[in-house]
Amino acid sequence: MQNNIRLNQDISLSLLALGLIVYLSLMTSKIQQYKRPLILDSGFSNTGSTSMFAATCQLRLRSIHVGKHCGFLASDDEQVDITNVSPGLVAHEQVLLAIMALKSCIVETSTPQQHRIHPCPTVKEALDGLFDRIDDVIASPDIDALHGPYQEFTDYIIEATERIRGVKPIVLLSESDPKEWASRREHDVKGLLCRLDASQIGSESFPVNPGQNMHWCLRSAMAQNKGDVPINEIFWTVGQLSDKEEYRTSILEGGLNLYQEHMETHGNVAYRVNLFGRDPLVTAEQLASEINQVLVSDLGDGSSIANDDFVGNGDYVKIFPDRIHLLDFDWRVFWDNKKGN
């Protein structure tokens, strides 16, 4: 009897050890697939995110920032079909199209004809569709640095990068005074604002509005059992609150303040900077140098952070996704067809 118990214990331990070996082997394989950790610039728009993008380009890291990229194509190759050049750019274009589709649908809520024909995606459809496309970006080994619009999904990207690449991203953060930032953002009439108070973000409950953080707003809606609600009922546009200036400003200001506090305690930020609060102002060369020191220190093995496959001289090239025709665009067909085909 005791021999059988001991045998079963030995088998269990052996299986556990085998499972651990397989897991470590898979993680090592993932890490080796990527030449360096992914860099995530988690600063919101109008906090200096374009300067952060220019800095990673200057460091010869293949970088993406909304409709711009560097290091994938030479500056005179804008007409090249990116499907033949970079899976990362193709994946990023799909993220841009998805966010454009969502924001266009929300902005067009005043057009009754649009929503009789093609209702907006639900909260759950939006989250699933965005996560699916963001995973493709993270899985692309030719991408070194992510900037906009990925700051709106920072928490998810940190978790997904470790799951997909086997190691957490190196997180950078450009900050700003929330009040000053709100004054800059309130002129973007098509900018989105959450209609909900945030609840159960991560392991905490925040009794304030997440402002322009799309991920937090959608997660808050899910936590409030609103997964089947169309997204145009979850977001306002800044323009819709044009007659409520004080309320609009408080949402913007409070949302950024909440986000920056969250990143300070939960973001494991490797480098943070307030480009609007430095005197004298930080030059592009100085910013790149500061980021370089952080990255070299994080790698810890004396490796050069520059990507040997970087193309061009560090200037950016624009991406122009296909134009979305609002009255003819079927949001649900786009969501059901992952690659937009």
Domain boundaries, the chain: 1-33, 37-336
Q: What is the mean pLDDT of residues 98-107?
A: 81
pLDDT tens, 182-238? 998 888 877 888 888 755 444 444 445 677 888 988 988 998 899 999 998 899 888
Classify 257 as helix, strand or coil: helix
pLDDT of residue 327: 40
Measured distance CA(97)–CA(83) in Å, rounded: 15
Instruction: Compute CA distances 102 → 5, 52, 107, 214, 332, whole Å.
Output: 58, 26, 9, 10, 11
Closest by Cα among 16, 20, 40 to 28: 20
Classify 41 as helix, strand or coil: strand
Measured distance CA(216)–CA(230) in Å, rounded: 16
pLDDT of residue 340: 42
> pLDDT confidence of 274, banded at 50, 70, 90?
very high
Query: What type of residue sits at position 117?
Result: I
The DSSP secondary structure of 269-294, one letter per residue, reads EEEEE-TTT-SSPPPHHHHHHHHHHH
Contact 167, 128 (CB under 8 A): no
Q: What is the mean pLDDT of residues 57-77?
A: 85
Q: What is the mean pLDDT of residues 255-273?
A: 89
Query: Is the pLDDT at 326 greater than 60, yes or no?
Result: no
Measured distance CA(291)–CA(137) in Å, rounded: 22
Q: What is the mean pLDDT of residues 147-173?
A: 94
Q: What is the mean pLDDT of residues 277-289?
A: 88
Instruction: Give me the chain's average pLDDT, please.
Output: 78
Query: What type of residue sits at position 223?
Result: A
Q: What number of other Cβ atoms are within 10 A of residue 117's Cβ? A: 12
Query: What type of residue sits at position 170?
Result: I
Query: Is the pLDDT at 20 greater than 50, yes or no?
Result: no
pLDDT of residue 333: 60
Contact 277, 177 (CB under 8 A): yes
Lowest mean pLDDT among 143-157, 206-220, 309-323: 309-323
For residue 149, whether the previous peptide bond is cis, meaning omega lies within 30 degrees of 0, is yes
Instruction: Compute CA distances 148 → 41, 109, 145, 152, 186, whole Å.
Output: 8, 25, 10, 8, 18
Q: Does 16 or 190 have the greater pLDDT score? A: 190
For 152, the token pair is 């709106």
Measured distance CA(219)–CA(89) in Å, rounded: 27
